[in-house]
Structure formats: structure tokens, C-alpha cells
Chains A and B, each alone.
Chain A
Amino acid sequence: MSKQFSRRDFLKLAGVGAATTAILTGCGPASRYVKREPYMQMPEYTYNGQSTYYATTCRECAAGCGLIVRTSQGRAIKTEGNANNPLNLGKTCARGQATLQGLYNPDRVTDPIKRSSRGGDSTAVMDWDASIQVVADALKNNKPEEIAFLMGMAPDHIFDLVTDLANATGMNAPMRFGALGMFEARATLSKAAENLFGQASLPFFDVGGAQVVFSFGANFLETWLSPVSYTRGFAGLREARTKLRGKFVQFESRMSSTGGKADEWIPLRPGTEALVALAIGRLAAEIRGGAMPRAFASVDPKDAATKSGIKLETLEHLAEMFANSTGALAIPGGAALGQSNGLAVAEAVLALNAFSDNLGKPGGVYLSALAPNQTEYNRPASAREMQALVQKMFDGKIKVLFVHGVNPLFELPNSLEFGGASKYVSQIISFATFPDETAREADYVFPDHHGLESWGYQRVATGSAQPVLSGAQPVVSPYYNTRATADVLITAAQLAGGKFAEALPFKDEVEFLQSKIASLMSEADGSISALDIPTFMAYFQQHGGYWKMSDGRGVPSAEDMLNRTIAADEAEFAGEGEFFFVPFVSPTLAEAGANKPWLQELADPTTTVMWNTWVEMNPETAHELGIENDDVVKIVSEAGALEAPVYVYPAIRPDTIAMPFGQGHTAYGRYATDVDKDGNIIPRGVNPADLFGQHFNEAGDLAFAGMKVKIEKTGVKKPLSRLESLMGVYGIGLGEEH
């Protein structure tokens, strides 16, 4: 007789037990017992089980695409593009799709809070009356010049409201900043336009109408300026059904996902973009004959070929392509502008357009249409202007800092020392929707609604031929105890009295919006018009904004453009290492997508990596250094050091390494961060901005790509999650013959 309780016996007993449990519980009514809450007052336009659609504006980046949001029973369940909005014509990017994961993110700031010490976890929930009083006191008890507003890049209604407030009271004018603007080098583009066309503006490149497109580092199919609009343009370029298939050539040292679409990818040595552009101009001018433009005259193509690492034959072939095309277009952008000679690069590339004689013509360069209620282009702050703000903070000239729509502790490079300067600011008030790094360092967080819960409008800075003012309205009622920042400011200004109250004499945000769009009501050529403001506002909401029906783009004047000399100097590189360092914005995450789990799980278009940061390295270089896939390396720049696993990337120069920007959050919710074995919150990936030094180009943009770095092996391996199969792509594990 065995005293062992065998496995078979256990299964017998377990089987009887499981069957009994199933009989007793599985069929019981409890599993079917749900409650349904009907409406108390059902809106007239609603039927149970049928969706209601609202037009609004996407707030995931500053482009301002129109959205149609499907809602069902008071929940937002799908976003689609607004087919009527001339900017995006019914299309969205991945971030626009995932905006719902921001709205229903499990890590939002749910109530207004006061933090007992900056950076600490201990917070007390406040009520809104007390919160508004805090804002009112901050406005009233400080000198206006000691109050500063730092805002996101979008030219939206809150920016207008704060501008009005600043103009009336002598407060510091609000500053708009975003990492995307820094990586796009918007100040450089705008400065180049000012120098060459005599007007500060964001140039618009009509990719769709061109026959040949030369892009110098512009990642216009990823996050650049207005990605949905430029992607439509690219489809137009390639549209073989109606015209010849257009050619696309990309010049960059690391193949971006934009570069991956190019017919010819030219890996040039970083810093030689201006030289190459001018050399192509010179060769093209020689092919066409006639007088040599002064802009190109001083360049020696052979010298350019040697310095850039491009064969002279390749340059000649490209020049031929450019010269013989009836619609050649050249685009400057991305890392090419974020170098010490960025302005010269922009000017040299724009000069190519003047040579191609495409200014203000289909397939050429325009000045972006200004939005209907806008009189001049108002660009976001450059990194140098941000540095000036930081200096003011250090000097104790800023007593109160309001932060809305931007996360400077993550988006501004460490070397600009925003964190250090914030210690000299007595009061920091954040309006963050999510608990980001800056909200953690703020004394108060008075959370704004999510974009889909808010009113507003946003000017479209570029991307549409027509002037567009995208309109926003709440598609669902606020999920948490949040309040619109515009409402908070209006009420606080009333409480503060005096000039503040006079500057914002409104009942609420909607009344303010109406006052701002009222002048458009009866303008000619508008998409909507009405005789009274309530009707106009209703149309504005229903259509998702207001736009002009005609082309509003400016024609740049090409006068003397080719007769000026353009410096063809190479860029200077800071730091001592042997590798050029090219940071790029993650095409899927961009600067604020890291807290949306599905954006994290989208495969990067070029590497297919998900959920982490990687370092791209040429296979040859990796082999020489004895580095394999997933080996963690330490990257040292003059400003800092960080560690990340290597992705052996076949399309990058051997003297260059590249890293995506978007990860490395220390706060910003559970999906943006990671936890270690002990359950402590640690960053997910790293932030390459930690390596940036304080170097600027002539236009004041950060020379983020003007760096050389060293690499050290760490001996640690960290497997990256990739969608691609290593077996299928690299033949790993397939045996010798592969």
C-alpha cells in the first residue's frame, strides 16, 4: 500500500472538484449579471448603439490636422482624418490614430495637485477654486516682468490668450518650444527664407508637383513640419498614373525611413551638405550653359567630392538629373540644418531652387500660407532663445513660470540646464495633462483637459495651399477632474483684477474663442460664413474649422538670390571622438508619444525595434570593434555619456552612429518608463539629448548633429525587441550556406 499521493490520484480528485465548481458557478446568473445605465436625458441626435461623429483637431503634434472622432455612448472609440480639412484630407499618421491611448491613458493627472517638495512623490489634491486662487495670486503678487509662460509648439488659442494677457500687462511674451521644432531647425529655415526672400516664413515645398526631388536630410515622410501633408505630396511625386514617375534623391549620412524611399541614397560625410549642394549647382549650371551664378562660382566640385566622400561621377550624374529636369526641387532639413553651418546649408539648398527656377511655381518652393486670423509667421523659440530664458531664470528675474503643452526637462537638452535654473524660480505651475518630468518638478499641477476633451483652434503653419484654421471641440466630456487652462487663466485674471481682468473680459474659453474668430464670419472666400456668431461657431465646430477656398501661399522673390555668395564651409564638430553622432526623431514616437503603448509597440520603420532605444552602427565598424547586435555600448560626448544596445544597421556611414529621440523618460507614466527587478521606476531607453552640447548655428538653432563621440564597450548585452526576424533578414541561425 503506497502512502504516496500520486499524480494520477491528484488528477482524479481535481477532475471531480473542477466539474463540481463548473456546475455550481459557471451556469449561475452571476456571470450574466451586468447593469446598464441608460441616459437620464438622451441627446436628441443619439440612438443607443449608434455612433456620433465630431470634428476636431489633432493635438499630437503642431501640424494641426483635422480629425473626425467616432464616439459611442459618450466614449471616443476611433479617430479618422477630417476629409474636408485641406491640410490632411481625411488622413492621419500613427500618432493621430493613437491619440485615444492618451485620452484613456491610465496615467493621467486626475486632479489639481500641490507638491510638498519638487521632484517628490508626496502630493495633496486641491480643489479648483483654491487652484485658481493660486494662479490669481501668482499673477497679482509678482511684477509682470517676473512672470513667464512656456508653451508647446502649436500656434493655438491658448497661445493667443496668453499673448493678449502679456501684451496688456507687460508680462514676458509667451515662448513656444518643442523638441520637434529643435530637430527640424525651424528657426534656421525661417532665417534662410528671411535672408533670401526678404521675409521670415516657413517655406513650403510642393513635393507632389515636382519631377525630381533632392532632399538634404529632410525627414519629410516621418515627423518633419507636416508629415501627413508631405506624405501626400510624396505619393503625388510617385503617382505614375497621371504623369511620369518622379525621382527622389536623399543626401544623409544615415538612412532614415524617408531616405529608404529614395531612388538614390547618397551617404555624404556629415557637415558637407552645403558644399555638395553648391557643387551640384555649379555642375548643373555648367550643363545648362550661360553665365555661372555667383552663388555657385567659388565651389570646386572635385574638392566637394573628396570632402563629402561622394564620387565625382555621382555628383555629375546627379547634376545632370537636376539640370535636365523641368521640375527639380531641393529640400533642406533635419540633421543637415542642426549643424554649425546649418544656415549656409539652408541657403545653398534654397539657391538650388532659384537655379531650378521653381519659386512660387507648381512643384517648387512657396512661402507657407498664413492662417486666416494671422498676419505674420510666428515661429517657435529656437534653442538659443530658450537659453536666454534659462539665463533669466538663473539670474532670478523669473519668479513664476507657467508651463503648458511642453516638457522642457525632457525636450530641452540637459546641457541647457533648465533643471538647474528652475531652482531659482520661486513658483512653477504646470498645466500638464500627463505626469511628465516637468510636472514632477512643479510646485503645482493644474491639469488641462486632454485635446479630445477641449475647445480651441490651431493655426496651420504649413502643409496646405489654403490658409487653414483648424477648430477643436470636446468629443467626450472630461474623464477626470481636469479643467481647461484657458478657463483657469480667464477666471484667475478676473480674480487678479486690474489690467489682468481688463485683458481677458470673458465669461469662459468659448466666449474667448468666439471673440477671436468673429472677424472671419463675413470674410469673402471662406469655407463657411454666417450672419451671427452662434451660427458661425456652430458651423466652425461642425466642419472642424475655417479655411479659405483659394491658394494663400506666398511667392518668394528670387531677386539676387543667385548673385550672392554663399559660404560653403564645412560644419565644425564639437567633441573628440571618432564617430559623427546623428540623432533623429523616432518616426513612431516623436517627442511625446512614449506614453501611448501602441506607439511603443509600432515597429520603427527602418529597424523594426519596439519599446526601446538603440544605437545604429555600420556592420563593418561593428565587426572591427568586435561589437554584435544587442551589445550595450557607452557613448561619450563632450557633454555627457549614456549606454544603449547596438543595432547593426546596414545603411549608415562607417564613421557615423545614430540614435532615435523619443525614449528615456524618467516620468510620464507606466508605458514611457520601465521597472527594474525591485519594482523601482527606471527610464525606458535613453534620451540622446543628454549628449548634446551648447553649440548653436547662426540662426540660433542647436547644432545637435554637430558632434563627435567616442564609443566604449561595456560587455553587457540587452536584447532589443524587434518585429523583424533575425533569421529572415540576416540569415542568423540558418546555417553556413546562408
Chain B
Amino acid sequence: MATLADLKISEVKLAAEQTGKWGMVIDQDICTGCQACVAACAMENNVTFVGEVDSGYGRSMHWIRIERFWEGEYPEVKMTPNQPMLCQQCGHATCEPVCPAFATVHSQAEQLNLQVYNRCVGTRYCANNCPYQVRSFNWRDYQRPEPLPNQFNPDVTVRRVGVMEKCTFCIQRIHKAQDKAKSEGREVVDGEFTTACAQACPANAIVFGRVDDPESLVSQLGKQSHGVKHLEELGTLPNVTYFKGG
């Protein structure tokens, strides 16, 4: 019988050879900062709220947040286009090599950065090493009094104290769509499913799909010249493309 040791699963690839599978395009010009994606993400992924005091200490658990910056001074002040920031699902992620517990690993099958909760021991090295600051740590077992837990999504683990978490690109939806397609003997069709944030977005500013399929909407959009990938110069190979707009 073959064992894990016999197999060369995790062959190290050079950064340049890495290809993404799932990706996103976010149009900042039409993002209105309405927070629908943030709420949708929290509801879909059982993300906990932490209360006023802990959120004041920067411990809130947003998997996606909307950044805005100021340019200039009154009256020539300008708010920069709203920038939804979430895990960029880097092809060459800086969070991965620093995890001593191998809880932050790269999924070879889906080309996503995984956070394996049952392996996580809470060193928080990954969050320190993430240039996008999109990882959040469960500093406490935050209370969700009855009957709030009734709304838990059964497809997503409820995290407890001492565990790091972050955006998964709604991997439960990916698996569900793949499972459904497989049971019907076909491939997943582009646009058949999407992430919770993209589904909720009233402006349709978020598009999700296969970046390795040149025909998909997200690939078509990603080819546009004004697309930007954040902190690409660090060699992280992010899979989220932003349109700054304006």
C-alpha cells in the first residue's frame, strides 16, 4: 500500500510556474462601500462579532473589509475609491511558509490558501506575515447567545478560541457546486455559483470565477488593461484583480 511518504504531492514549484484556479475581479469604481458583502460573508461563514471593546482593540473578525483613504485637504478632499480587501488567495503566499503547524497550507486541488482549523495552534505568525492584513484571530470564545446559533451554516466549521481564520473564497460553495456538477456528470459552468460577497453585492462590483478558464467572465475582465493586483511586487501572485476606476 502506498503511504503519504511515497508520494511527491507537494513538489515545490517556482513562483512563476504557479497558476491560479479561482479568482476575483473587483471594480472599485462602482463599489459604494455599502457593507453588504461584509454582512453576507459573516452570515455565510459563521464569522463571529466581537463587541465594542474588542473591536476597538482591532480584534474584529471581518473576513472582508472595505478600505477607504483620504486624499488632499478640505475643500479639495477626496475619498479614494472604496477598496474591498479580502484574502487574495496568493499563488505564492507569504503566510504559508511561516506556519510551524502546517495549518496554513496551499491547496493543490483548488489553488487556494487554506486555513486548517484543527491543525492551527494559534502562533499568529501567518497574520504577521500577511501583507494584506486579512487574517483574523479568535482572541476569545466569543459569545453568541441562544438562539443566535440557529443561523449557523452547517457547511462551515464554527471556530473557537485560539484559531486563526480568513476568507476561503467560500470553499464550501465551490465543493457544493463541484459535487452537484459531478453528480450530474458535467463540469461546473461559469457563473453557476459565486461567493457570498459577490452574490450580495448590489452594484455587481465583485465577479468570481475560474481564472484558468480563458472563457470565463473573470478571465475576460482580468485581461483589461486597467486591472491592478495589490502588492504584486512582493511576488505573492494574488488572484484578486482590482479596477481602480475614476
Residues of A within 8 A of B (CB): 49, 72, 75-81, 88, 90-98, 100-101, 103-106, 221-222, 227-228, 231-232, 234-235, 238-240, 245, 255, 257-258, 260-261, 263, 265, 267, 479, 587-588, 597-603, 605-606, 608, 610-612, 618-620, 650-654, 674, 684, 719-725, 729
Contact = CB atoms under 8 A, between A and B. Distances in A.
Given A77-B153, A651-B79, A721-B56, A258 B32 contact: yes
A699 to B, nearest CB: 28
Contacts of B145: 106
Given A90-B199, A104-B147, A227-B202, A605 B34 contact: yes
Contacts, number: 191
Interface string B189-209: 000000010011111110000
A725 B200 CA distance: 27
B32 A234 contact: yes
B30 to A, nearest CB: 4
A721 B52 contact: yes
Interface of B: 29-30, 32-36, 38-40, 42-44, 49-53, 55-56, 58, 60, 62, 65-70, 73-75, 77-79, 81-82, 145-154, 196, 199-205, 245-246
B68 A605 contact: yes
Given A97-B39, A231-B203, A721-B55, A78 B44 contact: yes
B200 A81 contact: yes
Given A238-B30, A611-B55, A106 B62 contact: no
Contacts of A619: 73-74
B151 A101 contact: yes
Which 8 A-B residue pairs are closest in the complex by CB-CB distance?
A721-B56, A260-B79, A605-B33, A611-B52, A97-B39, A94-B39, A231-B202, A235-B203
Given A80-B200, A605-B34, A650 B74 contact: yes
A98 B151 contact: no
Given A78-B43, A97-B42, A598-B49, 9 more contacts: A81-B199, A90-B199, A92-B40, A104-B149, A257-B32, A258-B32, A479-B150, A601-B60, A652-B74
A546 to B, nearest CB: 23
A94 B35 contact: yes
A77 B154 contact: yes
B200 A100 contact: no
Contacts of A600: 49, 52
A606 B149 CA distance: 31
A605 B38 CA distance: 11
A674 B34 CA distance: 25
B157 to A, nearest CB: 14
A723 B60 contact: yes
B33 A235 contact: no
A260 B40 contact: no
A179 B198 CA distance: 30
A666 B35 CA distance: 26
A94 B151 contact: no
A683 to B, nearest CB: 13
Contacts of B154: 49, 72, 77
A660 to B, nearest CB: 14
Contacts of B203: 231-232, 234-235
A340 B114 CA distance: 58
B151 A104 contact: yes
Contacts of B30: 234-235, 238-239
A104 B60 contact: no
A239 B205 CA distance: 10
A76 B147 CA distance: 12
B200 A606 contact: no
A719 B246 CA distance: 34
B128 to A, nearest CB: 15
Given A90-B199, A232-B202, A255-B77, A75 B151 contact: yes
A469 B90 CA distance: 45
Contacts of B58: 725
A75 B43 contact: no
A606 B42 contact: no
A107 to B, nearest CB: 9
A101 B148 contact: yes
A599 B34 CA distance: 11
A103 B151 contact: yes
A68 B196 CA distance: 13
B243 to A, nearest CB: 9
A100 B151 contact: yes
Nearest to B54: A721
A651 B39 CA distance: 26
A238 B245 contact: yes
5 contacts: A235-B204, A255-B77, A255-B79, A605-B66, A610-B52
